[in-house]
A and B are shown apart, each in its own frame.
Chain A
Amino acid sequence: MRFSFTEEQLALREGTRDVLEAMCTTSDLRDLYESDNPMGGRSAERWSALSDLGATALLASEEAGGLGFGDAELVGVLEEAGRVALPEALGLHAGVAVPILGLASSTPAGLLSSLVEQGALVSVGGVDVALTGPVVRQFDGEAHAERVPDVNRAHSFLLASASDHGVQVCLVGRDQCTITPTPGLDTALNLGAVAWTPRPENVIAEGDDAILIIDEIASRSSLVSAAHLCGVVDAMLLRTAEYAKDRQQFGVPIGSFQAVKHMLANVRVALEFARPAVYRAAWSFSVNDDARHHDAALAKALASEMAQDAAATCLQVHGGIGYTWESDLQFYLKRCWALATAYGDAPMQRARALSLGLNLSQ
């Protein structure tokens, strides 16, 4: 029994942090928010830096051009992505699409290494997480996915849907999809609806294989969003604590008031307990432990609850300035709101964790 990160894992994380802090500043985020071009700012430059670092292909085998690392490395990198509120869908790409393409038996040979080679971003869509398990969209001759992140940047999409004979998972190039932007409050996420007509050559899995893979997609999506949220909350909390030290009222810093201290302490406590759950879930995926679906639900339940509370608290502590467009706090608030509800909100995920944990499914 050992539950800790190695020096190498911490070093990988530090390296990612250095790159991201340089390439994803709050002024970069602001440019993106204020630009008409959803691809604006330094997005392409950032993605290629992440590719050069190997962060986008952490979980790909070395034969496929990846680093051959595990999910423990991945969640550390994703926390760093969260700390800068990274717009690109690194979690879905590196933590869902890449391992699924490596896993699926009918992934065409050389596909993954070609994607890695090109530094292509693969986004993921079509799977919602519900209490009794993943849910896919209906099929009416055409397949549909909603709220797919990074529709403007993605090279291709890993998509799940119902089909004429059950369910299927496809890898579809963006030129074969109809993409309709459906921006959310967090415009940096680049959400959109994707419609496609499945073709045999796109099918990664169908039938029972697809059911299993959709399960993996659902739980992995929960895990990567939980890891991202831990980073977002960490950065937002530090930023807010700094603000509480600087901002003076009644002649003293507002952070000296117990009412303020206790609110921020609650966020710190939630973070202290959400992180190990994320790390445990990462381990479960890395060894393909049967508990991984439970562990992912637990991690997302804790992270979503934490993020909702953290957003409310940090906004309140910032006071009026936190409510302005001018404040950089908005990037973190909006990410918290978006990801706390996506891929299963807290009440659903905790009920799912309880059901799976005690084998109480109805």
Chain B
Amino acid sequence: MVCQISDVDFLLTPEEEAFRSEAASWLRANVPAPGTLKSLDTREGFEQHRVFERLMFDNHWSVVSWPEKYGGRDVGIIEWLLFEDEYYKAGGPKRVSQNGIFLLAPTFFDFGTEAQRDRFLPAMASGDEIWCQGWSEPDSGSDLASLRSSAKKVDDGWLLNGQKTWASRGAFAEWCFGLFRSDPQAERHRGLTYFLVAMDTPGVTRRPIAQLDGETGFAEIFFDDVFVPDDQVLGEVGQGWAVAMATAGSERGLSLRSPARYRQAAERLAALLIEREGSIGEPLSRLADRTAKAYCNAAAYELQTWWTATAIREGKGVGPEASATKIFWSELDVEIHETALELLGPDAFLLADHGELSDWLDGYLFSLAGPIYAGTNQIQRNVVAERLLGLPRK
């Protein structure tokens, strides 16, 4: 057989292999045992997760792809994916700092000043300052460009007024990044500015919102003449929409959702199927088929991620394909968890010993938010149809 190796190559280089094994051994030794951390949507759990972020930071594992001076290892996207793979294999906890390190940080790298990066990135990487996202408003969800929270220019800074909602981590975070209308005459996407706000600034009030599971994972944030100095504007005044769309690209696309997450979950699902149904044979049971579908989609997601990562490494940006990606991972997550709950049968919705959610139930509730946040999947389908297929907006 002709075995010419073309430029597709799934073999890791020795450097990549060494990086992977170093990450794996550190994580195996340091990831907290399952069940030792409380939910990060509780005050106690939030602080426990922060301690783990600090431990990772001290060992240069919290933000591997960042420059060394901010606490990273300056490695590329392939190594980042390898790290993520090992993180989920080791059973690493949810990242309490994810809004900062995965969403805001890429925006700092693209739009921030040197001084802003020096000031904010190390504390973000260590978990000393945890960020929440102030985008949605009560009347501006999918239609983000209709937002009304305002920024008024004053000497040396701005006065913010208005209300933000659905701010994940907003109940406990130290900082908030958000979009405000800085030009009251401008409409829609124009006249918006991206601000960085300390949550202890006078005039900021937060009101935690209890989620489906009863925990306060997100919050409403009220701004009442909140003063923000000029050096806490990210990007240019009036260019907030462009800055925000860069953040949204990170949120929908690659940087938030590591494929390892879904592969691990799909493998746990397959183990559950075998435990419940014995083997996979013909005729295929309905749940064996659903499990197989979830498995295949998780594998497909991983391959599409490597494909995208190579494109990114070669300098090709991720465009509207990020919307296709967001639809895929969010619906895959629901599919995996729904199938698991069906396999568990009527027991699936029972609470565990101390009234806690089982892993599958907790994961299910978490997955249900996926098609809603980061731009609902209905909006993403519009983006795919309009920007990848050229269908008319109106």
Contacts and interface: CB of A to CB of B under 8 A. Distances in A.
A282 B327 CA distance: 26
Interface residues of A, number: 68
B310 A264 contact: no
Given A241-B390, A265-B389, A3 B3 contact: no
Contacts of A272: 304, 321, 324-325, 328
Interface string A216-236: 000000000000000000000
B292 A354 contact: yes
A4 B8 contact: yes
B3 A288 contact: yes
Given A3-B307, A360-B270, A264 B6 contact: no
Interface in A303-362: 305, 347-348, 350-351, 353-355, 357-358, 360-362
B5 interface: yes
Given A60-B2, A102-B2, A268 B389 contact: yes
Contacts of A276: 300, 303-304, 306-307
Contacts of A11: none
Contacts of B382: 258, 261-262, 265
Interface string B263-289: 000010010001000011110100011
B357 interface: no
A358 B270 contact: yes
Contacts of A48: none
A6 interface: yes
B392 interface: yes
A166 interface: no
Interface in B70-122: 78
Interface in A237-282: 237-238, 241, 244-245, 252-253, 255-256, 258, 260-262, 264-266, 268-269, 272-277, 279-280, 282
Interface in A278-310: 279-280, 282-283, 286-289, 298, 301-302, 305
B350 interface: no
A187 interface: no
Contacts of A61: 2
Interface stretch (A23-31, A67-75, A77-85): A67-75
Contacts of A4: 7-8, 307, 310-311, 314
B131 interface: no
A1 B16 contact: yes
Given A241-B391, A265-B381, A351 B3 contact: no
B177 interface: no
A269 B8 contact: no
Contacts of A6: 6-7
Interface residues of B, number: 61
A351 B290 CA distance: 9
B289 A1 contact: no
Contacts of B310: 1-4
A69 B295 CA distance: 32
Given A2-B8, A261-B381, A131 B296 contact: no
B6 A9 contact: yes
Most chain A CB within 10 A, of B1, B310, B388, is at B1
A354 B291 contact: yes
A305 B335 CA distance: 16
Given A261-B382, A302-B300, A353 B295 contact: yes
B159 interface: no
Contact of A288 (B1, B270, B394): B1
A137 B11 CA distance: 38
A287 B4 CA distance: 7
Contacts, number: 208
Interface in B1-26: 1-13, 16
B300 A283 contact: no
Nearest to B274: A360
A123 to B, nearest CB: 20
B376 to A, nearest CB: 12
Contacts of B274: 360
B299 A277 contact: yes
A357 B9 contact: no
Contact of B2 (A59, A273, A279): A59
Nearest to B281: A362
Nearest to B383: A265
Contacts of A360: 270, 274, 279-280
Nearest to B282: A131
A139 interface: no
A286 B300 contact: no
Contact of A302 (B296, B386, B388, B392): B296
Most chain A CB within 10 A, of B2, B9, B284, B389, is at B2
A324 B41 CA distance: 57
Contacts of A350: 289, 292-293, 295-296
A103 interface: yes
Interface in A63-111: 66, 68-70, 72-73, 99, 102-103
B297 interface: yes
A333 to B, nearest CB: 19
A347 B288 CA distance: 10
A2 B392 CA distance: 36
B21 to A, nearest CB: 15
Contacts of A253: 391-392
22 contacts: A1-B9, A4-B307, A5-B7, A9-B6, A59-B2, A69-B2, A131-B282, A244-B391, A256-B393, A260-B391, A268-B324, A273-B297, A277-B299, A283-B8, A350-B289, A350-B296, A354-B291, A354-B295, A354-B296, A360-B270, A360-B280, A362-B281
Interface of A: 1-6, 9, 59-61, 66, 68-70, 72-73, 99, 102-103, 131, 237-238, 241, 244-245, 252-253, 255-256, 258, 260-262, 264-266, 268-269, 272-277, 279-280, 282-283, 286-289, 298, 301-302, 305, 347-348, 350-351, 353-355, 357-358, 360-362
6 smallest beta-carbon distances between A and B, as pairs: A261-B385, A255-B391, A265-B384, A72-B6, A265-B381, A350-B292
